[in-house]
Amino acid sequence: MPLNARNGGLRIVVVDDNYDANAALSRLLKASGFEVVGRAYDGLSGLTVVKAERPDVAILDLAMPALDGFGLAKRIREEVEVQPRLVALTSFGPELESDAETAGFDSYFCKPANWTNLKQVLESYLPQ
């Protein structure tokens, strides 16, 4: 049974400047029962989508034009009233994980992320 059929699901925004990666992740999330409520391809647009959609989770790439993922996380933490969980999904290596934590990310994954691990983290954000 899909997650959203079981318990209302998890509303997710995906922000990644790589169109194919953004689309593939969004399809995978939807196929797994998550609700993708918005997508953006740069940090500034991502901030607008997060503010408008008020997701439970925002999955953010770190290297993006206009506003990188670190800056986007900082702005979300400062400007968004209802705080989503922030998941970094990046092609950078694990050496930036502590920087991501400092920037306000709840989780950090290197691309290509292990889907089982990412899904477990997302499911842990579901209301109990």
pTM given for the model? 0.92
Domain edges within the chain: 3-120
- pLDDT of residue 56 exceeding 60, the answer is yes
User: Which residues have CB under 8 Å from 74's CB, separation 6+?
Assistant: 103, 104
Which pLDDT does position 4 carry in this prediction? 41
Domain 3-120, second-level architecture: 3-Layer(aba) Sandwich (3.40)
Half-sphere exposure of residue 91, counting CA atoms within 13 Å on the CB side? 7
pLDDT digits (tens, 9 = 90+) for 76-112: 999 999 999 999 999 998 999 999 999 999 999 999 9
What secondary structure does DSSP assign to 2-50, as a single string?
-HHHHHS--EEEEE-S-HHHHHHHHHHHHHTT-EEEEEESSHHHHHHHH
